[in-house]
Structure 1
């Protein structure tokens, strides 16, 4: 008996496999090119931009319905993330148009092979797990249950896709008649938060598994447990919506997910099983949510930098003011002027002495006059510097004031943009929570229907047994 699938996976597309996808580049040239790209400390892959441009060209052709042209473009790309993503998207088109899943599965296999060439291991693993789940679902959908099980068992246990993979794994096992093993997969999936795709279906699947195995009492208990879990999740979602309205989506979903303290989310030590992280990952699956959250994060960083700049300018202006006050003190300037006047008077006396001195005495007096002249020159320089420094400091203070005004204007502008961006993020988050609540309401309705059908069946069975 076929289980009803509540999960609606998003089908991806993949380009057709051709021999041109295999590079014929000599090993020496390939090795040299790799070393060239990795040379130096710049850390830039010179070919990544080109591959992204080819991917975008393939996507343009695919969007126009020219899948063959898209396939030819992808076949000429080097292995890596962009090629894998292109084949993944092409597979979706094949899955939608082909009655036979062969082309789509081949394209997904090519995408898996291409993803191995990605230098970014984290990105590669994420894409690989996504591809395995897509391939598993596609194989299950077309009745190739052994193939589906083979794909799904390769999904990493620490992947975001593992709850959905476990649910589909259980479906494939159930179709083969192995209900006990199917329920084991669903039981494992139930340990993850309901925010992950496939977990709610696994709760319902447990009841259906007991039903198909002939354990009607346990089936009823499983449906009641699922019903309670869905009701509790709806309460949690209402609390989440209230937190978003009160504190904002960025703090509620992003900042709180980084904390380890116990809050309304019932924190867990394992990252993947933390409900707050599940909500964050689920919310950020959408491109619009990623863009909105990134914009808020960037604006917050700018606002923090401008605040630091404003503080630094304030300290700088205070230091300039203190220096100006010290320079403008009349006592120090007057002492310098008195020394210069005394030096001039002493110079005149030395001149009179030199006029009346003997030739030997004149030489010594000239040496004294030279020393006095040097001292006079340095005093004049001190007075000149002292008279010019206030002007320089005043210019600096004026510049600092202008920069402060400009910094405040930028900070005001950034704060306005930040408020608007946070409001937009809040709207997206509330829409996400509302959508999740509708999904929980739908799952709750399904369990209530199953319970009603089960009780109806039991009632009819009791009536049959009581007939004479």
Structure 2
């Protein structure tokens, strides 16, 4: 059952049902296949995930050119799955930027969540689902629909990159409902994640604000001081991370070391539930440029290791050929066959003498058979001598080829090493820029906590002055 036959038969079914009814009855397997094709796609042919990705690219081109309506029409014709969900997520971002009312953006996100259920990759589906729920919770919070925001955010899993941000937004929504205790519980859970995750630094600051709104000014000051210390420590961590990237490269520091389970200098943090360096790796790789640069370095690493393996194999092959050439000299083979030929001549002479002395035909037949065997052996020795004489030449030709391949492989190794160095430098630059941006964010968060501490101390000082004035006035009234 070929694809051509299926397509022709399907065209008959789709275009002209009358023609099909007049045609001969189709075989059962073709009919079942046609039915499966018709159910799989609106046009009858399902070209799989690559086709959906191509449609997603068409929608993205329309969206990026400002034609959101055209992008929506392309997405509406796509099958359920990952690419349709990503397309609607991007479309919701445009709607949120263009509209003051986030209703359209929320509708697009709900459609994305529904489309995502058709994705067969569970890990990919769960990761994107958490992003969609976090985004929907943020839009609902912005729109003032706090209960709806809480409903979205409570569905986010606790082991994803979006979790800390979802917990922070969940706390904000609860705080708007005047449930400050529950809000601080969400922020406290967010603080247990590394500061590399989005939303964690905000949760540290929000804890102090939560105590302030609850009327616990002392605890608010302690929370701000704890946030201040955490941000200072994180800046030290980032400086050490930058030094390690400069010394060992970003690929080893962020990617290779993330595979290890040992405790490193920026893992020693009892507050975290996950590895901080994995959080930095995820945050760094969220950038398309970093993904491209990291993938290029990884591909060159694999290529270099493979070429080094080829080089070892060629060296072993070359040494084996050299040993074979040394042990397979023509002179040695000729001397061995010459001695065997002399022994064969002696045997032939003895057989001829015994044949002349034989008295019956049976003995003569046996001796004649021995003479034929001896003749065959002589021919084989001659052939062996001829092959042995040509073997060194063949081995030398093979060795010349091996040496040529070895030289070419050495050139390839040098070229790949040069490209690997250039790719590593490009990745290092991106990683250092990322670390510098994270350090600026920590400096900004540190400045915010210092301002909050200053405002809190100023408020307490003013309150103490007011209390002192009040007590002084009371004392004055008792004086004569």
TM-score strictly above 0.5: yes
What is the CA deviation profile of residues 439-463 of structure 1, one whole-angstrom value per residue up to 9, with x for unaligned ones?
Answer: 0000000001111111111111122
- Write the distance in 2 (CA, Å) between the matches of 1:269 and 1:402: 57
Match of 2:414 in 1: 412
Q: Which stretch shows the higher mean deviation, 434-443 or 61-70?
A: 61-70
- Write the distance in 1 (CA, Å) between the matches of 2:205 and 2:35: 53
2:175 matches 1:171:
no
- Write the distance in 2 (CA, Å) between the matches of 1:201 and 1:442: 11
Q: 1:449 pairs with 448, 451, 455, which one? A: 451
Match of 2:442 in 1: 440
What is the CA deviation profile of residues 149-185 of structure 1, one whole-angstrom value per residue up to 9, with x for unaligned ones?
Answer: 1100000011111000000000111111111111110
What is the CA deviation profile of residues 70-112 of structure 1, one whole-angstrom value per residue up to 9, with x for unaligned ones?
Answer: 1111000000000000001000111111121111101000000
Residue 113 of structure 1 deviates from its aligned partner by 0.7
Match of 2:184 in 1: 183
Match of 1:398 in 2: 400
- Going from structure 1 to structure 2, the CA distance change for 1:149 and 1:36 (only over 3 Å counts) comes to closer
Q: 1:382 pairs with 363, 374, 384, which one? A: 384
- Write the distance in 1 (CA, Å) between the matches of 2:214 and 2:271: 33
Residue 358 of structure 1 deviates from its aligned partner by 8.9
SS of structure 2 residue aligned to 1:273: coil
Whether the 8 Å CA contact 2:53–2:83 is kept in 1: the answer is: yes
- Write the distance in 2 (CA, Å) between the matches of 1:381 and 1:199: 83
What is the CA deviation profile of residues 358-400 of structure 1, one whole-angstrom value per residue up to 9, with x for unaligned ones?
Answer: 9958766644432221111111121122112222211211111
Q: Which stretch shows the higher mean deviation, 279-288 or 340-349?
A: 340-349
Match of 2:16 in 1: none
- Going from structure 1 to structure 2, the CA distance change for 1:254 and 1:131 (only over 3 Å counts) comes to same
Match of 1:224 in 2: 225
What is the CA deviation profile of residues 308-353 of structure 1, one whole-angstrom value per residue up to 9, with x for unaligned ones?
Answer: 1111111111111222222117444302123225535765787799
- Going from structure 1 to structure 2, the CA distance change for 1:251 and 1:451 (only over 3 Å counts) comes to same
Aligned pairs for 1:60-79 within 5 A? 60-79=61-80
Residue 266 of structure 1 deviates from its aligned partner by 2.4
- Write the distance in 1 (CA, Å) between the matches of 2:91 and 2:221: 43
- Write the distance in 1 (CA, Å) between the matches of 2:401 and 2:333: 27
- Going from structure 1 to structure 2, the CA distance change for 1:364 and 1:208 (only over 3 Å counts) comes to closer
Q: Which stretch shows the higher mean deviation, 90-99 or 263-272?
A: 263-272
Rg (Cα) greater in structure = 2
What is the CA deviation profile of residues 201-225 of structure 1, one whole-angstrom value per residue up to 9, with x for unaligned ones?
Answer: 0000001111111111111111111
**TM-score if structure 1 supplies the norm length?**
0.87
- Going from structure 1 to structure 2, the CA distance change for 1:376 and 1:168 (only over 3 Å counts) comes to same
What is the CA deviation profile of residues 233-290 of structure 1, one whole-angstrom value per residue up to 9, with x for unaligned ones?
Answer: 0001001011111111111111111111111022579996211111111111111111
- Going from structure 1 to structure 2, the CA distance change for 1:55 and 1:99 (only over 3 Å counts) comes to same
- State how many pairs are aligned: 434
| Structure 1 unmatched ranges of 5 or more | 1-27, 38-44
- Write the distance in 2 (CA, Å) between the matches of 1:308 and 1:160: 38
Q: Which stretch shows the higher mean deviation, 323-332 or 230-239?
A: 323-332
- Write the distance in 1 (CA, Å) between the matches of 2:236 and 2:35: 58
- Write the distance in 2 (CA, Å) between the matches of 1:282 and 1:255: 16
Match of 1:258 in 2: 259
- Going from structure 1 to structure 2, the CA distance change for 1:270 and 1:355 (only over 3 Å counts) comes to farther
Whether the 8 Å CA contact 1:209–1:219 is kept in 2: the answer is: yes
- Going from structure 1 to structure 2, the CA distance change for 1:151 and 1:413 (only over 3 Å counts) comes to same
Aligned pairs for 1:17-166 within 5 A? 32-33=36-37, 46-166=47-167
- Write the distance in 1 (CA, Å) between the matches of 2:60 and 2:468: 66
What is the CA deviation profile of residues 101-130 of structure 1, one whole-angstrom value per residue up to 9, with x for unaligned ones?
Answer: 111101000000111111111111100000
- Write the distance in 2 (CA, Å) between the matches of 1:235 and 1:34: 61
Aligned pairs for 1:293-442 within 5 A? 293-328=294-329, 330-344=331-345, 347=348, 366-442=368-444
Residue 65 of structure 1 deviates from its aligned partner by 1.1
What is the CA deviation profile of residues 7-56 of structure 1, one whole-angstrom value per residue up to 9, with x for unaligned ones?
Answer: xxxxxxxxxxxxxxxxxxxxx8899359999xxxxxxx941111011000
- Write the distance in 2 (CA, Å) between the matches of 1:457 and 1:213: 16
- Write the distance in 2 (CA, Å) between the matches of 1:300 and 1:271: 32
- Write the distance in 2 (CA, Å) between the matches of 1:464 and 1:116: 61
SS of structure 1 residue aligned to 2:210: helix
Q: 2:461 pairs with 459, 462, 465, which one? A: 459
Q: What's the C-alpha RMSD, in Å, of the aligned pairs? A: 2.6
**TM-score if structure 2 supplies the norm length?**
0.85
SS of structure 1 residue aligned to 2:79: coil
- Write the distance in 2 (CA, Å) between the matches of 1:271 and 1:164: 15
Whether the 8 Å CA contact 1:227–1:448 is kept in 2: the answer is: yes
- Write the distance in 1 (CA, Å) between the matches of 2:347 and 2:233: 99
- Going from structure 1 to structure 2, the CA distance change for 1:231 and 1:269 (only over 3 Å counts) comes to closer
- Write the distance in 1 (CA, Å) between the matches of 2:81 and 2:181: 40
Whether the 8 Å CA contact 1:54–1:73 is kept in 2: the answer is: yes
